[in-house]
Structure 1
């Protein structure tokens, strides 16, 4: 009997609620605007950013999200074609309209040429400035 009561109490103490959307609710007309950055060359950190981005896409639906992922500093490694496993993930995310952006300053500093980047990558003058401008436009900066 005590076990039954304990199980009942434990099972009712964990209430899972739905996320309440802020207005306007996400839609094709009013998508959530999300910008993330990759600044580390560490595989675990790169994959964490990509997984977090993927979780956002799954939750809202890719049609309800505008997403840009900016790579700068050591994180530029994530956008190199030669990093095949990461490049495959990036290519898949590009298929659902996630935009990937490379920092031109980092490319110059590291001697990276445009043709070394995953096809479809946009290059901007400064990755950190890209982040500032998107936030200023109302995009949400997610730091996983």
Structure 2
């Protein structure tokens, strides 16, 4: 009996739908989501990039705005020389995902703007950018 109950519960979850909060996401009211990348290992970087991709797939690129802010060791995400990661970044950029580099990190690590992938925005401080986005209603996700 217990196994049947578990199977029925799992079956129900398989077809469960997400109930959207009001107002529902739309072109005029997109979900605003910001992700930080602070770790420089492949697993951490790819986890955030995949999470951003999954959010975009779920809502649809026209119903979500995503910003990914890279600072500390996470700045590696935005370096041209990191070819495999750069391909993923450029792919997300085609869907208007913003990539933002921390100027303080760049200065500390002696990274020049020309070392970064094209169309990456540079801000003074990545952590401050996270705070300001939060105050503007962006949802902060730390996968």
Q: TM-score normalized by structure 2?
A: 0.94
Deviations 1:47-67 (A, max 9, x none): 001011111001000110011
Alignment-derived partner of residue 40 in structure 2: 41
Task: Give CA-to-partner distance per residue, 1:97-136, whole Å, 9 cap, x none.
Answer: 0000000000000000001101010000000000000000
CA shift in 2, pair 1:23/1:83, >3 Å: same
Query: Which of these two proteins has the greater Rg computed from alpha carbons?
Result: 1
Correspondence for 1:13:
9
Name the residue aligned to 2:128: 129
Q: Please tell me whether residue 79 in structure 1 is matched to residue 78 in structure 2.
A: yes
2:53 — aligned with what?
A: 54
**Cα deviation per residue 1:59-110 (whole Å; 9 max; x = unaligned)?**
0001100110000001001100000000000000000000000000000000
Deviations 1:7-49 (A, max 9, x none): 7544312122111000000000000000000000111000001
User: Aligned residue for 2:114?
Assistant: 115
Is 1:32 matched with 2:28?
A: no
3-state SS of the aligned residue for 2:53? helix
Aligned residues: 140
User: Segments of 4+ in structure 1 off by > 4 A?
Assistant: 5-10
SS at match of 2:8: helix
Aligned residue for 2:106, secondary structure, equals helix
1: CA distance, partners of 2:78 / 2:136: 25
Instruction: Give the aligned CA root-mean-square deviation in angstroms.
Output: 1.2
